């Protein structure tokens, strides 16, 4: 049976017993509305740990748009069933007070990473992400924490935070799970109408095209063509597409050894992101 905790003290008391038995603990932080992408993180965590803790917490401080927070899908009963079916050991499902009561909001100097790409379109987002992830890491004290490549920039930001604060945890980035037609799985996909969903495919199609063509096309041209492919798609409003260095996220020269293409767009009212690692 999966143990479910809403209080951090109770969770910590439970995990202390397991730690005494030298059981490695893996953490999978989520905002719920679970799908197969989340479950792939749980599976990877299970393959490397004796105990897997999944957290479900819709973190208000990372939403720059109050409407987005309000309509974020919440499906806790279905989530619990999915986690039980996946043999997850522990669910941590705190409320906002349990996480942020008595918590001073600090600003972590994340540098340029915070202001590029997602940071430009979602001001303050990564301060909220680092706040909640640092709290989850200090409550759970996992040996390893698992995050999706889907949120590539988030992984870089969390890696930077862990280095800056000397948090003793190993971070693992797990591949993007996609629908059979290529759409990256996301909790927000439930907001797409059938029509919007078909237009949203332009994001993964364009990233695939970039992957197929980056070796033979100068990057400025690659980016311009990708931009125009997305901009031509009805109902899709491009925010950015960048061919970036995989560590700095600044535009990459063709000679870079670590390159990722990242995209964000609005499809109707729904904001979607996707990316592909090129080298």
Least Å distance between CB 41 and ligand AMP?
A: 5
Chain-centroid distance of CA 121 in Å reads 16
Task: Indicate whether 125 belongs to the interface with ligand AMP (CB under 6 A).
Answer: no
Choice from 15, 31, 140, 203 touching ligand AMP (CB under 6 A):
31
E strand residue ranges, the chain: 3-5, 25-30, 51-56, 90-92, 144-148, 170-174, 236-245, 259-267, 270-277
> Residue 207, interface with ligand AMP (CB under 6 A)?
no
In terms of residues, how long is the chain?
A: 279
Binding letters toward ligand AMP, positions 160-179, x by CB under 6 A: --------------x-xx--
CB of 229 to ligand AMP, least distance (A): 22
Assigned token pair, 144 = 């390893």
Output phi, psi for 82, to 5 deg: -65, -40
Considering only the stretches 31-39, 68-76, 134-142, 200-208, report the one whose residues sit in contact with ligand AMP under the rule CB under 6 A.
31-39
| Residue 38: active-site member | yes
* Helical axes 125-140 vs 8-20, angle rounded to 10°: 50
Which residue in the list 38, 125, 191, 199 is annotated as catalytic?
38
186 binds ligand AMP (CB under 6 A): yes
* 57 near ligand AMP, judged by CB under 6 A: no
Sheet with 270-277, side-by-side order of all strands: 236-245, 259-267, 270-277
Q: How far apart are CA 223 and CA 174, in angstroms?
A: 26
Residue positions annotated with a catalytic role: 38
Residues that bind ligand AMP in the complex, under the rule CB under 6 A = 30-31, 37-38, 40-41, 147-148, 150-151, 174, 176-177, 184-187
């Amino acid at each position: 049976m999966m143990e479910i905790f809403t209080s951090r003290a109770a969770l910590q008391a439970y995990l202390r017993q397991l730690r005494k038995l030298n059981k490695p603990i893996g953490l999978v932080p989520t905002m719920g509305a679970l799908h197969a992408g989340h479950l792939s993180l749980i599976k990877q965590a299970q393959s490397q740990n004796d105990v897997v803790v999944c957290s479900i917490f819709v973190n208000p401080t990372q939403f720059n748009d109050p409407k987005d927070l309000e309509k974020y899908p919440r499906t806790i009963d279905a989530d619990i069933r999915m986690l039980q079916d996946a043999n997850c050991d522990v669910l941590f499902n705190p409320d906002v007070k349990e996480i942020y009561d008595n918590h001073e909001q600090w600003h972590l100097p994340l540098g340029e990473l915070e202001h590029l790409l997602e940071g430009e379109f979602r001001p303050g987002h990564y301060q909220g992400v680092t706040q909640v992830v640092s709290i989850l890491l200090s409550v759970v004290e996992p040996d390893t924490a698992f995050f999706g490549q889907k949120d590539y920039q988030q992984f870089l930001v969390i890696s930077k935070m862990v280095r800056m604060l000397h948090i003793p945890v190993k971070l693992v980035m797990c591949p993007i799970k996609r629908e059979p037609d290529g759409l990256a799985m996301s909790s927000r996909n439930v907001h797409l109408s059938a029509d919007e969903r078909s237009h949203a495919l332009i994001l993964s199609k364009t990233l695939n095209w970039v992957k197929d063509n980056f070796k033979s096309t100068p990057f400025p041209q690659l980016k311009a063509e990708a931009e125009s492919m997305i901009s031509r798609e009805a109902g899709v409003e491009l925010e950015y597409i960048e061919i970036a260095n995989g560590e700095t996220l600044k535009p990459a020269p063709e000679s870079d050894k670590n390159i990722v293409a990242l995209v964000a767009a609005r499809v109707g009212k729904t904001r979607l992101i996707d990316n592909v690692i090129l080298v």
